[in-house]
Amino acid sequence: MKHIKTLTNKTLKSTMEKGGCGECQTSCQSACKTSCTVGNQTCENKR
Amino acid sequence: MIHQFKNNGYNIVMDVCSGAVHVVDDLTYDVIAFYEENNQKKSETTIEALLDRFPAYSRRELEEALAEVEERKAQGELFAPDEYEDVVWEFKKRKTVVKALCLHIAHDCNLGCRYCFAGEGEYHGDRSMMSYEVGKQALDFLVEHSGNRRNLEVDFFGGEPTMNFDVVKKLVEYGRSLEEPHQKKFRFTLTTNGLLLDDAIMEFANREMANVVLSIDGRKEVNDYMRPAKNGKSTYDLIVPKFQKFARLRNQTNYYVRGTFTRHNLDFSKDVLHLADLGFRQISVEPVVAQPDEPYAIREEDLPQLMEEYDKLAKEMLKREQEGRGFQFFHFMIDLTQGPCVMKRLSGCGSGTEYLAVTPWGDLYPCHQFVGQEEFRLGSVFDGIQAEELRDEFKLCNVYAKEKCRSCFARFYCSGGCAANSYHFHGSILDAYDIGCELQKKRIECAIMIKAALADQEEKENERA
């Protein structure tokens, strides 16, 4: 590919299958408390 | 849906619904914008149309770029459709469990912060401390309502929780005793202003707390103006050495120094860098959320300056990273590879369902920011959730329930934003706090630019090697 460099090709769609286990951290328990930030959290699905 | 932006010399294209992120040249940047425009109009993007629109580029260049764009589209990495709405509504209807509690260990504080949403720690009510019995009941409530969820989170919050630290210690001990019999793992966290921090508290926290949040706003004059002690005196000199020691003892991980910036320090990048210069490596500094009549509230007219500040900060962070003295800025952290699943991204913060706040006397509220607003009382740790209708309102809150979020590129990163902010500005949890949204979008762009720049540096280093 000459014109497009891909930083991530992660397709969110694939996370629909195994997603939603809920083991990940609640966003406000980290360091915000007055906003909502989920994009920086890590998936903890070990399945 | 595509979101494109240029930042620090990088042309970035986010394919919003697939989650793919690309860095492209100028030509392709223009071609993608044109393609998206045509998609909106439901018309095809032909080479003739491109030649007509971009006469400065040659046919060969345009053909090449178009071919690449179409290849990515076929791979589901560009112009991917939003196929999540039905799935998310279904997901939201599921039976939820409680997985996180914010325990208001002390409704009292030894600081008099001007911007405190808790009214100097008292949450519009009387000063009070949580008793061990109430806290114990809260942990029992959490275990009982957590279903199969293994990791449980408990934040010791206030007011100032170190003012009631004996109860904190006893509750941690009690929580640990519940782990094995119930197959649970507690992650305790502590949010403190540092005034009462001593070696014993640090030692305990380093043994038991998965994370600690240490409140400080940045430069001495900024911190002391907004975060004075109750007697009006400076707090900076008292807390900085303790926080530095605490961070060192935690090996510079699993903590955040966390500040708030306001209209009084719109040049907040200086505060972030000041904290970095003090040796902190995990930093979170957030915009204040306040009603417009407060003198310190961020106003719409402040946005251009704040955007510049985020850009400045991002560039400086990159520079320091290259010099081997990098640090983490919480709101620029973004996980592009191991990030959360789409359900998590679209279903909101969990307030009112998975995440609840507990008052010193055991009442349950959807989150710490609703505490003290009687109409949001959900029940108590003794009687469970009683206001089921209210709970269900929170339960079904998600990005597709919010008109402003449905078409926003940031919806996969902010999850629809903060329900409390939305309520406090618009009287509904299904709206969004507009100034907060603008800043959030800018932070996402900066975070992605940083990723692009780091990938670029790595590529250059590999070429040299």
| Separation in Å, CA of B333 to nearest CA in chain A | 5
CB pairs under 8 A between A and B: 214
Sheet with B20-24, edge to edge strand ranges: A4-8, B20-24, B10-15, B2-7
Contact (CB<8Å) B455/A32: no
**A22 → closest Cβ in B24, B149, B189:** B149
A12, closest residue in chain B (CA to CA): B18
CA–CA separation, B289 and B349 (whole Å): 17
| B363 has pLDDT over 70 | yes
Contact assessment for residue B113 and residue B225, using Cβ atoms and an 8 Å cutoff: no
| Token code pair at residue A10 | 């992660």
Contact (CB<8Å) A36/B28: no
A6, closest residue in chain B (CA to CA): B22
**What's the mean pLDDT when you consider all of chain A?**
79
| Separation in Å, CA of A30 to nearest CA in chain B | 8
Residue B411's nearest CA partner among B424, B399, B395 is: B399
| Separation in Å, CA of A46 to nearest CA in chain B | 12
Taking CA atoms, A44 is separated from B98, B99, B202, B424, B427, in Å, by: 17, 14, 28, 32, 35
**B341 → closest Cβ in A5, A19, A28:** A19
Contact assessment for residue B161 and residue B106, using Cβ atoms and an 8 Å cutoff: yes
Kind and range of the H or E run holding B101: strand B100-107
**B23 → closest Cβ in A2, A5, A20:** A5
| B239-243, B375-379, B396-400: range with lowest mean pLDDT | B396-400
Contact (CB<8Å) A40/B335: yes
User: Which residue ranges make up each domain of chain B?
Assistant: 2-81
**B338 → closest Cβ in A23, A27, A43:** A43
| pLDDT of A37 | 73
Best to test chain B binding among A2, A5, A7 (most B CBs inside 10 Å): A7
Which residues on neighbouring strands pair with residue B157, listed in sequence order? B104
**B355 → closest Cβ in A6, A28, A44:** A28
**A10 → closest Cβ in B19, B84, B155:** B19
Contact (CB<8Å) A10/B213: no
| pLDDT of B104 | 96
Q: Name the DSSP letter for residue A26.
A: P
| Separation in Å, CA of B211 to nearest CA in chain A | 8
Residue B192's nearest CA partner among B161, B231, B222 is: B161
Mean of the pLDDT values across residues B350-373? 94
Contact (CB<8Å) A42/B213: no
pLDDT tens per residue across span B136-189: 999 999 999 999 999 999 999 999 999 999 999 999 999 999 999 999 999 999
Q: Could you tell me the pLDDT band of residue A31, with boundaries at 50, 70 and 90?
A: low
Which positions ≥6 away from A39 have C-beta within 8 Å? B334, B335, B339, B340, B345, B412, B413, B414, B444, B447
| B22 has pLDDT over 90 | yes
Q: Name the DSSP letter for residue A3.
A: S
pLDDT tens per residue across span B213-232: 999 999 999 999 999 998 88
Residue B137's nearest CA partner among B363, B430, B316, B288 is: B363
Q: Could you tell me the pLDDT band of residue B96, with boundaries at 50, 70 and 90?
A: confident
B100 or A19: which leads in pLDDT:
B100
B24, closest residue in chain A (CA to CA): A4
How open is the CA angle B10-B345-A34, to the nearest 5 degrees?
85
Q: 């019999």: which residue's tokens?
A: B181
Q: Name the DSSP letter for residue B299.
A: -
| A36 has pLDDT over 80 | no
Beta pairing class for B100-107 and B20-24: unpaired
Fill in the amino acid letter for B350.
G
Residues of A with CB below 8 A from B67's CB? none
Which residues on neighbouring strands pair with residue B285, listed in sequence order? B259
B214, closest residue in chain A (CA to CA): A31
Residue B101's nearest CA partner among B205, B165, B181, B186 is: B186
Which positions ≥6 away from B333 have C-beta within 8 Å? A40, B447
Contact (CB<8Å) B421/A35: yes
**What's the mean pLDDT when you consider all of chain B?**
94
Query: Cβ–Cβ contacts within 10 Å for residue B415, how many?
Result: 25
Contact assessment for residue B296 and residue B290, using Cβ atoms and an 8 Å cutoff: yes
Contact (CB<8Å) A37/B330: yes
Positions of E strands within B271-350 = 282-287, 328-329
Q: What percentage of chain B has pLDDT greater than the value 90?
A: 85
| A10 has pLDDT over 80 | no
Residues of B with CB below 8 A from A28's CB? 100, 102, 349, 351, 355, 367-368
pLDDT tens per residue across span B260-289: 999 999 999 999 999 999 999 999 999 999
Taking CA atoms, B175 is separated from B136, B156, B188, B293, B367, in Å, by: 8, 13, 9, 43, 21
Dihedral (Cα; B107, B97, A42, B250), 10-degree rounding: 40
Contact (CB<8Å) B345/A12: yes
| B462 has pLDDT over 80 | yes
CA–CA separation, B416 and B424 (whole Å): 15
Best to test chain A binding among B335, B356, B412, B424 (most A CBs inside 10 Å): B335
| pLDDT of A30 | 66
How open is the CA angle B51-B56-B61, to the nearest 5 degrees?
65
pLDDT tens per residue across span B391-405: 999 998 889 999 999
Best to test chain B binding among A1, A2, A6, A15 (most B CBs inside 10 Å): A6
| B199-213, B308-322, B408-422: range with lowest mean pLDDT | B408-422
